[in-house]
């Protein structure tokens, strides 16, 4: 039974039954009787003093129920939107966290920042009302360019030079010494382009207030409803924690952008309480572009010191990271603990020093986007390594091999504060080289050239750190929350199982994967397992889904809970079968007395637990329901090798991906079909960053790439089919031996593509995205 | 204005403001929430339904244009016990993750297969160019559409 539905099987997804028939239930599909509609008035300016706001015309507009401004929220005790990670500068000072009222007060600092909300009987009336809100703006010069932000006017009084923090990691003196010894130094100036996440489901919220109970229910598009609830209750003061229930039903993609607590749901749930009626909001796509947290946006100077034989001696990295106008929920941790710590990559580089200056600009807040810091780190390391190979005339695969951390080096302590538990980097690279037919590349290149085209190949051997952990270390480094997960396994009287997890699926397939774990561990039919998630009213406090943590952390909690179920089941079985507890084995759904034909099925034991006729009630509570919290002792370290081969048409500058190979080591895999799908999606986003996507503001801070006409999303005809494969070194410190797969595609692929394009063009540096125009110009200038 | 339209085989007469979009009629008036709105600018394809047999973006169809039309939505192409071959192919090939693009993707794909013979991978990619998916990288969607084309 479990072989087809247990761990390792490509079981078809439970969630598909509703999604393919149009019966999914996303936030905007939920309506409450008598609901009103919210529309936000948003700043047209990147930076301005916000004088008076005249809401009288809006309030008088047809169908408008109420108009609220930041002052109304403030007067009611609503606090700022906080950032959850306190990063310290290298001089020991705390980062600057400027005030971030949900609706702007006194100043607006990016185009699209909300400064008033109009609630009306219909959506149309709310839109008309929002148009009628009149605000006095006194425009100020906008700070847009990250490179020069430190020299510009300060956006926030609290942040001189627009600096949020100036952070460092690693041994600067040792790194300097390594560069003094170097035979060769490779230097690159790297811009990691700003991305706009663009989950296809726009953010939405429905706030309801139950006057009789004095309680609030917020349906919203969140990756972590408990965090949403905690922040809205404890920091923003919307309602006491116990009086606020947050439900994230089906969520249409997140990619990080739905981790954060935003102004809109804050205003919606607050207004629902004030007005004592439901309030609903759904972002239009243009609002998603303007006001979802963006991703990436780094400018970096990086140098790699090499010995004569290609050994890496030292790595020096100086990065400016754009925070946007305010600190979003986890913004500060992305270019530090999720970036600097990953700069060792897969290599034994002995000395690394990184400095990161985080700066405010008059642009939308920047926070985690699929990969969050790790794609930026991989891009720096893998562009440098590839460039170094070309400069010293070594094959890029050989140079990597020369420097890989070897299988017998684990556990391996890097110079940037991580301890990798396991890996086999050469195994992934070898497999990828075979799939890519690297040996045949020269012939393919010759063929391309014969037809007037250029061909290039590029590698990226990435590592990532997933399942951010352990709580105590993260908290000591500034995290404001723990990083554990909870899993509850409730066995029903008839032996079916309901699992409740604090993790959240917005595409990741928890209902299937977690049911497979139960099927494997308890021998229960896959069909008889139901997985619930996304509701603070159902599960204990936990941290939700981001950073590829659901299986490694959430899955581990569920495994722990199943172990408790089995332990209790053995006690029950031993009593009924009149055997010693340590003589009862459990396998494939059967409790068996060793060396006997005495046995009970899992269902029989469950029934006995709830109908305790023959049951040791004096020693054991009735029932069969267990819960476990799991706090990981370390990150997991997925890693792999991506190889991209491109052909470039020099007449048009069009880059065509001829082949993309990804070989990833995710440890053990529960559902290979789902894992492949996660890799495909990540690859599309990584390739999108390299070739298509770019969030661009003009010098006045207007978002130029504010629609699907201007921001190039990867479409079906922009991408190839992918060749994905895996290698396996099981994670050593979680019960499933799993590492996480959600971000790998986006982390590894970007550098592989750009290494391939630069290889084809014969250039060292090329800005992303490598659009036809960029490529065409580079060829003309080369 | 007063409009009549047939949706998934059921006739409806509705009084709606003239500027109402077909996507809103389906979602808000008829509570057929399987049709999704991802962009409201005719760019993402999440809202695709069939109007008189053609795949159209319902976020850009006004009530008056829909008047008298026969509309099929994701809810109208199959039942859980009797799925359309395209629905089956999407499930069997893991062509969906978050599911938000899926209804529009399936409705576009059905039209693509119905109106074209001998579809190749490239033809499927070109044919689905109007439908965005942020989750799947399209790889499995293309596989699913080719698989369904063999069945349909
Ligand atoms: S919602 Fe109609 S095309 Fe996007
Ligand atoms: S499955 Fe999520 S957008 Fe396509």
Residues of chain B with pLDDT under 70: none
- What contacts A128, CB < 8 A, 6 or more positions away? A61, A62, A63, A64, A120
Q: Compute the distance between CA of residue A645 and CA of residue A661 in angstroms, rounded to an integer.
A: 9
In-domain check, residue A148 = no
CATH of the domain at A351: 3.30.365.10
Instruction: Write down the pLDDT at residue A2.
Output: 60
Say which residue, A23 or A544, is predicted with more confidence. A23
In-domain check, residue A150 = no
Q: Could you say which of A595, A630, A665 is where a domain stops?
A: A630
A757 and A652 in a common domain: yes
Q: Could you say which of A630, A645, A676 is where a domain stops?
A: A630
Measured from the CA of B96, which atom of ligand 2 is nearest? 1
Residue A612 scores a pLDDT above 90: yes
Q: Could you say which of A239, A256, A282 is where a domain stops?
A: A282
Listing DSSP states for A109-120 in one string gives -STT-EEEEEEE
B93 and B40 in a common domain: no
Instruction: Write down the pLDDT at residue A111.
Output: 98
Residue A82 scores a pLDDT above 90: yes
pLDDT band of residue A548 (cuts 50, 70, 90) is confident
In-domain check, residue A195 = no
Name the residue of chain A whose CA is nearest to B136's CA.
A681
Question: How big is chain A by its Cα radius of gyration, in Å?
Answer: 27
A463 and A321 in a common domain: yes
Question: Pseudo-torsion of CA A580, A586, A589, A591, nearest 10°?
Answer: -10
A512 and A602 in a common domain: yes
A321 and A272 in a common domain: no
Helix (H, G, I), strand (E, B) or coil at A559: helix
Bridge partners (DSSP) listed for residue A26? A250
For residue A253 and ligand 2, the question of a CB distance below 6 A is answered with yes
- State the maximum Cα–Cα separation within chain B, in Å, rounded to a whole number: 44
In-domain check, residue A214 = yes
- How many separate domains does chain A show? 3
Residue of B138, B146, B147 to mutate when probing chain A, most A C-beta within 10 A: B138
The size of chain B, in residues, is 152
Name the residue of chain B whose CA is nearest to A24's CA.
B34
Instruction: Write down the pLDDT at residue A545.
Output: 86
**Nearest alpha-carbon partner for A681 in B141, B112, B36:** B141
In-domain check, residue A167 = no
B90 and B70 in a common domain: no
3-state secondary structure A627-640: EEEECCCCCECCEE
Residue A782 scores a pLDDT above 90: no
Residue A259 scores a pLDDT above 80: yes
Structural domain containing residue A258? 31-140+203-282
CATH of the domain at B32: 3.10.20.30
Instruction: Write down the pLDDT at residue A312.
Output: 98
- State the maximum Cα–Cα separation within chain A, in Å, rounded to a whole number: 86
Region A263-281 average pLDDT: 98
Q: Do B44 and A714 touch (CB under 8 A)?
A: no
B51 and B93 in a common domain: no
* Nearest Cα residue to atom 1 of ligand 1: B37
For residue B45 and ligand 1, the question of a CB distance below 6 A is answered with yes
Q: Compute the distance between CA of residue A777 and CA of residue A223 in angstroms, rounded to an integer.
A: 41
A678-707 exposure pattern, b = at least 16 Cβ within 10 A, e = fewer: bbbbbbbbbbbbbbbbbbebeeebebebbe
CATH of the domain at B136: 1.10.150.120
Instruction: Choose which residue among B134, B140, B142 to substitute to test ligand 2 binding: the one with the highest number of ligand atoms within 8 A of its C-beta.
Output: B134
B85-120 exposure pattern, b = at least 16 Cβ within 10 A, e = fewer: bbbbbbbbbbbbbbbbbbbbbbbbbbbbbeeeeebe
Instruction: Write down the pLDDT at residue A521.
Output: 96
Going by the DSSP 8-state scheme, the letter that residue A552 receives in this structure is I
**Where are any strands of DSSP class E within A96-183?**
107-108, 114-120, 134-139, 163-170
For residue B46 and ligand 1, the question of a CB distance below 6 A is answered with yes
- Which residues of chain A are within 8 Å of residue B46 when distances are taken between CB atoms? 200
Tens-place pLDDT, residues A274-330 = 999 999 999 999 999 999 999 999 999 999 999 999 999 999 999 999 999 999 999
A450 and A330 in a common domain: yes
Structural domain containing residue B28? 2-76
For residue B15, how many other CB atoms are within 10 A of its CB?
Answer: 9
For residue A212, how many other CB atoms are within 10 A of its CB?
Answer: 5
Q: Could you say which of B58, B76, B94 is where a domain stops?
A: B76
A538 and A463 in a common domain: no
A245 and A342 in a common domain: no
Q: Compute the distance between CA of residue B64 and CA of residue B84 in angstroms, rounded to an integer.
A: 30
Residue A1 scores a pLDDT above 60: no
Asked whether the beta carbons of A487 and A522 are under 8 A apart, the reply is: no
Name the residue of chain A whose CA is nearest to B90's CA.
A20
B7 and B67 in a common domain: yes
Instruction: Write down the pLDDT at residue A471.
Output: 87
- Which residues of chain B are within 8 Å of residue A713 when distances are taken between CB atoms? 132, 134
* Nearest Cα residue to atom 3 of ligand 2: B133
- Interface confidence (ipTM) of the complex: 0.98
- How many separate domains does chain B show? 2
User: For helices A744-761 and A672-691, what crossing angle results, to 10°?
Assistant: 40
Measured from the CA of B60, which atom of ligand 1 is nearest? 2
A277 and A136 in a common domain: yes
In-domain check, residue A366 = yes
CATH of the domain at A244: 3.90.1170.50
Q: Could you say which of B33, B56, B76 is where a domain stops?
A: B76
Against a cut of 0.95, is the pTM above it? yes
**Cβ contacts of A759-764, under 8 Å, gap ≥ 24:** A759/A386, A759/A390, A759/A456, A759/A457, A759/A458, A760/A454, A760/A455, A760/A456, A760/A646, A760/A647, A760/A648, A760/A655, A761/A454, A761/A456, A761/A648, A764/A188, A764/A387, A764/A390
Output phi, psi for A17, to 5 deg. -50, -40
Measured from the CA of B57, which atom of ligand 1 is nearest? 2
Q: Could you say which of B19, B45, B76 is where a domain stops?
A: B76
A319 and A211 in a common domain: no
Tens-place pLDDT, residues A9-19 = 999 999 999 99
Question: Pseudo-torsion of CA A546, A501, A684, A727, nearest 10°?
Answer: 100
Tens-place pLDDT, residues A688-727 = 999 999 999 999 999 999 999 999 999 999 999 999 999 9
Residue A93 scores a pLDDT above 80: yes
Instruction: Write down the pLDDT at residue A3.
Output: 73
In A276-373, alpha helices (H): 285-291
Asked whether the beta carbons of A621 and A610 are under 8 A apart, the reply is: no
- Omega of the bond leading into B149 within 30 degrees of 0 (cis): no
A131 and A236 in a common domain: yes
Minimal Cβ distance to B97: which of A286, A677, A707: A677
B59 and B104 in a common domain: no
A351 and A305 in a common domain: yes
Measured from the CA of B134, which atom of ligand 2 is nearest? 3
Q: What is the mean pLDDT of chain A?
A: 96
B93 and B62 in a common domain: no
B119 and B146 in a common domain: yes
The size of chain A, in residues, is 782
In-domain check, residue A686 = yes
In-domain check, residue A193 = no
For residue A587, how many other CB atoms are within 10 A of its CB?
Answer: 10
For residue A498, how many other CB atoms are within 10 A of its CB?
Answer: 17
A contact residues 184-203, partner B, Cβ 8 Å cutoff: 198-202
A250 and A353 in a common domain: no
Shortest CA gap A608–chain B (Å) = 35
């Amino acid at each position: 039974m479990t072989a087809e539905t247990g761990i390792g099987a490509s079981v078809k997804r439970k969630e598909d039954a509703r999604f393919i028939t149009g019966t999914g239930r996303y936030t905007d599909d939920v309506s409450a009787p008598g609901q009103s509609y919210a529309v936000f008035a948003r700043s047209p300016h990147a930076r301005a003093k916000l004088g008076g706001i005249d809401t009288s015309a809006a309030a008088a507009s047809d169908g408008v129920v109420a108009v609220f401004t930041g002052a109304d929220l403030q007067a009611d005790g609503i606090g700022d939107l906080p950032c959850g990670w306190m990063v310290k500068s290298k001089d020991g000072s705390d980062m600057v966290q400027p005030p971030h009222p949900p609706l702007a007060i006194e100043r607006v600092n990016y185009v699209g920042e909300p400064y008033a909300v109009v609630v009306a009987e219909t959506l149309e009336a709310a839109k008309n009302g929002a148009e009628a809100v009149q605000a006095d703006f006194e425009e100020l010069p906008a700070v847009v360019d990250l490179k020069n932000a430190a020299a510009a006017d300060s956006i926030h009084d609290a942040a001189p030079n627009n600096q949020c923090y100036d952070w460092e990691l690693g041994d600067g003196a040792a790194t300097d010494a390594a560069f003094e010894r170097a035979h060769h130094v490779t230097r690159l100036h790297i811009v990691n382009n700003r991305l706009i996440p663009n989950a296809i489901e726009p953010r939405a919220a429905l706030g309801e207030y139950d006057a009789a109970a004095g309680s609030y229910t917020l349906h919203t598009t969140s990756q972590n409803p408990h965090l949403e609830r905690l922040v809205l209750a404890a920091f923003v003061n919307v309602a006491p924690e116990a009086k606020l229930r947050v439900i994230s039903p089906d969520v249409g993609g997140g990619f990080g952008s739905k981790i954060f607590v935003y102004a809109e749901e804050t205003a919606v749930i607050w207004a629902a309480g004030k007005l004592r009626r439901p309030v609903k909001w759904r972002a239009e796509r243009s609002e998603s572009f303007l006001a979802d947290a963006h991703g990436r946006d780094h400018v970096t100077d990086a140098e790699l010191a090499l010995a004569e034989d290609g050994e890496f001696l030292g790595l020096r990295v100086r990065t400016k990271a754009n925070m946007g106008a305010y600190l979003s929920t986890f913004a500060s941790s992305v270019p530090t603990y999720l970036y600097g710590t990953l700069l060792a990559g897969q290599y034994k580089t002995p000395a690394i020093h990184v400095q990161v200056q985080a700066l405010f600009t008059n642009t939308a807040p920047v926070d985690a986007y699929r990969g969050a810091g790790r794609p930026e780190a991989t891009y720096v390391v893998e562009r440098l390594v590839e460039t170094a190979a070309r400069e010293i005339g070594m094959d890029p695969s050989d140079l990597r091999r020369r420097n890989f951390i070897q299988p017998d080096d684990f556990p391996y302590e890097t110079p940037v504060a991580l301890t990798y538990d396991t890996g086999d980097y050469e195994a992934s690279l070898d497999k990828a080289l075979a799939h890519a037919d690297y040996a045949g590349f020269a012939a393919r290149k010759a063929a391309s050239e014969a037809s007037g085209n250029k061909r290039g190949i590029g590698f990226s051997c990435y590592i990532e750190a997933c399942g951010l952990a352990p709580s105590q270390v993260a908290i000591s480094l500034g995290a404001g929350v723990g990083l554990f997960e909870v899993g509850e396994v409730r066995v029903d009287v008839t032996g079916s199982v309901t699992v409740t997890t604090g993790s959240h699926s917005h595409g990741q397939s928890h209902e299937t994967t977690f049911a497979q774990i139960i099927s494997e561990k308890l021998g229960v039919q896959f069909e008889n397992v139901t997985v619930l998630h996304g509701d603070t009213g159902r599960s204990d406090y936990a941290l939700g889904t981001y950073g590829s943590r659901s299986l490694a952390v959430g899955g581990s909690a569920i495994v722990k809970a199943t172990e408790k179920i089995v332990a209790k089941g053995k006690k029950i079985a031993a009593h009924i079968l009149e055997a010693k507890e340590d003589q009862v084995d459990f396998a494939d759904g059967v409790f068996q007395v060793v060396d006997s034909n005495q046995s009970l099925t899992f269902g029989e034991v469950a029934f006995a637990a709830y109908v305790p006729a023959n049951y040791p009630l004096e020693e054991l509570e009735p029932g069969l329901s267990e819960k476990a919290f799991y706090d990981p002792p370390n990150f997991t370290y997925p890693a792999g090798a991506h190889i991209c081969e491109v052909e470039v048409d020099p007449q048009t500058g069009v880059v065509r991906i001829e082949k993309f190979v990804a070989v990833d080591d995710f440890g053990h895999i529960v559902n290979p079909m789902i894992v492949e799908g996660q890799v495909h999606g990540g690859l599309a986003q990584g390739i999108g960053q390299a070739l298509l996507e770019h969030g661009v503001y003009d010098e006045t801070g207007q978002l130029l790439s504010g629609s699907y006409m201007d921001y190039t999303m990867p479409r079906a005809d922009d991408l190839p089919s992918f060749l994905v494969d895996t290698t396996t070194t099981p994670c050593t410190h979680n019960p499933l031996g799993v590492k996480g797969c959600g971000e790998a595609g986006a982390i590894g692929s970007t550098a592989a593509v750009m290494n391939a394009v630069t290889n084809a063009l014969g250039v060292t540096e090329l800005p992303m995205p490598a659009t036809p125009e960029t490529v065409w110009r580079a060829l003309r200038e080369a | 204005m007063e409009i009549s339209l047939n949706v998934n085989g059921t006739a409806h007469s509705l009084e709606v403001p003239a500027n109402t979009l077909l996507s809103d009629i389906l979602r808000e008036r008829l509570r057929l929430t399987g049709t999704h709105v991802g962009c409201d600018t005719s760019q993402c394809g999440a809202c695709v339904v069939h109007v008189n047999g053609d795949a159209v973006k319902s976020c850009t169809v006004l009530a008056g244009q829909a008047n008298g039309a026969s509309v099929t939505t994701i809810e109208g192409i199959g039942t859980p016990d009797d799925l359309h071959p395209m629905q089956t192919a999407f499930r069997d090939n893991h062509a969906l993750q978050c599911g938000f693009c899926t209804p529009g993707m399936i409705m576009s794909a059905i039209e693509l297969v119905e109106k074209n013979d001998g579809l190749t991978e490239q033809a499927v990619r070109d044919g689905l160019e109007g439908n965005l998916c942020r989750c799947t990288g399209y790889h499995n969607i293309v596989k699913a559409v080719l698989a369904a084309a063999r069945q349909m």
